[in-house]
Chain A
Amino acid sequence: MSEDFIVSLLAAAITMGTPLLYAALGEVICERSGIINLGVEGMMLIGACVGFIAGNSFGSPWAGVAAAIAAGALLALIHAFLTVTLRANQVVSGLAVTLFGTGLSGYLGQDYVGQPAGAVFGKIALPVLSDIPVIGSILFKQDALVYISYFLVPLAAWYFYKTRSGLFLRAMGENPAAVDAAGINVFRLRYLYIIVGGALAGVAGAYLSLAYAPSWLENMTAGRGWIAVALVIFALWDPWRAMAGSYLFGGIDALGFNLQVLGLPVSGFILNMLPYIFTVLVLVLVLKRRGGRSAAPQALGLPYDREER
């Protein structure tokens, strides 16, 4: 394998990992507040669909991203209302969001299937940085959404570990009653973080339809939303680890794709299984190393009821 091949593979790992990164980062934020969001796949799909349509109509990929953020946030609002206000089962509510998002995106997007994208995020080589040998070609010849994600991860880590609000966010996932007792409005903040998570899932979808593919296809996420949910477990609910995990999975995706292009005598269907097999294997390995204890927030998945404090 030549150096060029490895560099292009790693650059592709970043590109393919970026939608996972946005979605996983959103899920980390949401789950840290104590709410499981299994609607990521549906939110990504609706983000991809609405983002593509808005990008086409307004001729700007940024309009697409804005629309995707709004669409992801709206679906998240439904999830928040069901799980926080009505204390519904978070697993089932998330499944409903995914089903609804899948259906709605297929319905809204039916006239756009296979159409060329009117607006796409092109690759921008950053001056100076992209001239660094090897690293420049991998990290700094990407598109704008990739560069934004480079800032979002440290921002999230700083918020989590260095700010007062971040402390409350983490505490809310462990012991919401204690946070409530400290005079913080747990309900309002959980709404906020669920919606932020949904907005990021929307961006993840828009990345697929405006930068990665760029086109709209029914079910184009192909399970990436679910892989993002798995990544959060792998990442032990930490933004930096989510970033590393996303690029690792992006790399697996890129590898399968490149092996196909190279004409390896293995069926494309088998190579396409790699990310899914890898997801299960990684979960097994992570949990095995931790002796079967996950690092999940203590109150994750439990509805918070003030009367039962």
Chain B
Amino acid sequence: MKVVLEKRLGESVKAQIGLPVASALMALVFCGVFFALTGKDPLMVYDSMFSGALGNDYGLSETIVKMIPLALCALGIAVAFRMQIWNIGAEGQFYMGACAATWVPLNFPDLPAVIMLPAMFLLGALAGGLWGLLAGWFKTRWLVNELISTLMMNYIAILWVDYLVYGDWRDPNGLNFPLTAAFPDAAMLPSFGDLRVHAGIFVVLIAAAVFTVLFKSSKWGYETKVIGSNPVAARYAGMNIPRNVLLAMFISGAVCGLAGMVEVSGIVGKLQHGISPGYGYTAIIIAWLARLNPPAIILVSFLFAVIHVGGFMLQTMGISAAAATMLQGAVLFFVVGTEIFTGYKLRIVKGGADNE
């Protein structure tokens, strides 16, 4: 008896849906082993995570609040990943977007909302976009690996925001905490009644709709797809690869920067140290898990927001929120590990004869 991998003829729809679900379940079991080994009851851990994130209005509202930045960053990342450009700088682009958006209410607190919000929106997207574009420029000009440059720029952006909120931008009445003064009402996105869910959800839905259309039926969407899957063919077809790389990095960064703007304007109401607890990194997994498909990104973002909020619930049990990061990493393990089975299937060969 011997197990061999055999190529599938055509793509299996069952495998495309079943594998991510199976991956998530296997990740839960895998991490459960670690919880059990360290003396925590895995069922209790998962129960408090999921009931905390889904079991009541407050938890559900928090989950949607967390879904907004995750989905926006994942959409931004998807733009680059489709071209096989590994923009893992969403975190830094988020910080830069949040930072630029904050500049408006800090300097012009008396602007009316109709000017304030669009200005924040544009500046946030522009700052994130330029931060991404810079890495894109290093790549097209000198072939600097964007994985390294975008990641290094994450650290730089985070330190830059720290420099501001610990320095010039610190609220003089803020008891020395590393945060800016609270935004005026005109700089805040409206929210739904008493809930913390805010209008950023519409930004997510509109962005997802726009990218669905652009990816599927625009010339740009087609070009980026071809460049990503077969750069040689793209070059023969006369597509301008460097220009597309720059454009993709700008759009990718702009969407992530927008996520930063939406976060400060929708929920936090100020810029502060650690404005993102790693949304940009979690979004990488989301984008990959959703196969860069915008509607799927929204769904997967919701699931990861559950893990995120669940992680906070764990802290009340005295368990580090890092457990949630661990779970996310494990999900990605199983997703990349089972990916081969969308193109191949296992077959058991009798007799163990080498079939080569």
Contacts and interface: CB of A to CB of B under 8 A. Distances in A.
A279 B336 contact: no
Interface in A20-50: 38, 42
A42 B138 CA distance: 26
B340 A283 contact: no
B309 to A, nearest CB: 16
A280 interface: yes
| Secondary structure dominating the interface of B | helix
B42 interface: no
A96 B144 contact: no
Contacts of B330: 96, 100
Nearest to B161: A269
Interface in A77-133: 78, 81-82, 86-89, 91-93, 95-108, 110
A218 interface: yes
Given A88-B339, A89-B336, A292-B143, A280 B322 contact: no
A96 B277 CA distance: 17
Given A103-B326, A110-B320, A110-B322, A91 B86 contact: yes
Contacts of B339: 86, 88-89
A113 B263 CA distance: 30
Interface stretch (A55-63, A178-186, A270-278): A270-278
B329 A105 contact: no
B88 A284 contact: no
A19 B101 CA distance: 38
A95 B328 CA distance: 11
Contacts of A222: 155
Contacts of B86: 91
B144 A269 contact: no
Contact of B329 (A82, A97, A110, A280): A97
B148 A226 contact: yes
Contacts of A269: 159-160, 162-163, 166-167
A95 B326 contact: no
Contacts of A81: 337
A92 B288 contact: yes
Contacts of B24: none
B307 to A, nearest CB: 11
Contacts of B244: none
A218 B322 contact: yes
Interface residues of A, number: 52
Given A230-B152, A283-B148, A287-B144, A273 B320 contact: no
B152 A233 contact: no
B95 interface: no
Contacts of A88: 336-337, 339-340
A82 B337 contact: yes
Interface string B326-349: 111110110011011000000000
A233 to B, nearest CB: 7
A276 B149 CA distance: 9
A282 to B, nearest CB: 10
B276 interface: no
B48 to A, nearest CB: 15
A91 to B, nearest CB: 6
Contact of B163 (A107, A267, A287, A288): A267
B326 A107 contact: yes
A95 B152 contact: no
B325 A91 contact: no
B326 A104 contact: yes
A294 interface: yes
Contact of A91 (B147, B324, B327): B147
A99 B325 contact: yes
A229 interface: yes
Interface string A270-309: 1011001101100110011000111000000000001000
B38 interface: yes
B324 A103 contact: yes
Interface in B288-306: 288
A96 B332 contact: yes
A187 B24 CA distance: 28
A154 interface: no
Contact of B145 (A103, A105, A233): A233
23 contacts: A86-B336, A88-B339, A89-B336, A96-B332, A97-B329, A99-B332, A100-B325, A100-B329, A100-B332, A101-B329, A102-B326, A103-B325, A103-B327, A103-B329, A106-B321, A106-B326, A230-B145, A230-B148, A230-B152, A233-B148, A270-B163, A276-B156, A280-B144
List 5 tightest A-B contacts by C-beta distance, closest first: A106-B322, A100-B329, A103-B326, A103-B325, A99-B329
Given A100-B332, A104-B34, 8 more contacts: A38-B147, A86-B337, A92-B336, A96-B329, A99-B328, A276-B159, A279-B148, A280-B153
